[in-house]
Amino acid sequence: MRTYIIIALLIISVAFTAYSSARLIDSTVSQYQGQGTQSYPFSFNYTEVLYVPHSGDYAVKIESNKSIFSSLYVIALISLGEDSKTVAVTLSSPYQVVHLHRGLYQVKFFVTGTSRDKINITTLEQNVNLTIIYEGEGED
C-alpha cells in the first residue's frame, strides 16, 4: 500500500514539474502587448575578446544603453585561464576589482530581456559593454 502512495505522489510531482516547465517556456517566448505597446523578448549568448595592456588590478563593470531596453539582464564570465578561474559580473553588481595579467581574455556574455523593437546580436554588442578601469599595480 505504501508503495502505491509513493508512486502516486511521484507521478503527481512529475506532472506538476512538466506543467510548470511548459508554462515557463511559454511565458518567455510569447510577445507581450499592453496599452498599445508591444514588447519583444530576446536572449543571446556571445563571446568577445578583452585585451589587457599591462598587469595590475582592474575595476570591472558591465554598462549598457538602457534607453533601448524595456528590461535587461546580463551576466559576463571572464575566463582568467589560471587554475581555470572565472570571474562573474552582472549588470546590477558594483565595480569588482580583479587582478589581470597582460594579455587576451575571453569574455562570454549571456544577455536576456525585452525591448520595444526587435533586437539582434549586433545591437547588443554595440549597447552592452564590459568596462575595465586600471586601479594600479597589484601583488603577483
Query: Where does the pLDDT of residue 58 fall: very low under 50, low under 70, confident under 90, or very high at 90 and above?
Result: very high
Instruction: Judge whether residue 13 has pLDDT over 80.
Output: no
Say whether pTM exceeds 0.95.
no
**Three-point CA angle 115, 121, 125, nearest 5°:** 95
Instruction: Judge whether residue 14 has pLDDT over 80.
Output: no
Max alpha carbon distance in the chain (Å)?
A: 70
Share of the chain above pLDDT 70, in %: 76
Whole-angstrom distance, CA of residue 121 vs CA of residue 5 = 50
What is the rounded average pLDDT of the residues 54-79? 90
User: Which segment of 16-20, 45-49, 80-84 scores lowest on mean pLDDT?
Assistant: 16-20
Strand, coil or helix: 140: coil
**Three-point CA angle 117, 118, 122, nearest 5°:** 115
Q: What is the pLDDT of residues 90-140, one digit of tens each?
A: 888 888 888 888 889 989 999 999 998 888 888 888 999 888 889 887 654
- Other C-beta atoms lying within 10 Å of the C-beta of residue 107: 19
Whole-angstrom distance, CA of residue 29 vs CA of residue 112 = 12
CATH of domain 37-136: 2.60.120.380
| CA dist 53 → 104, 105, 134 (Å) | 9, 11, 10
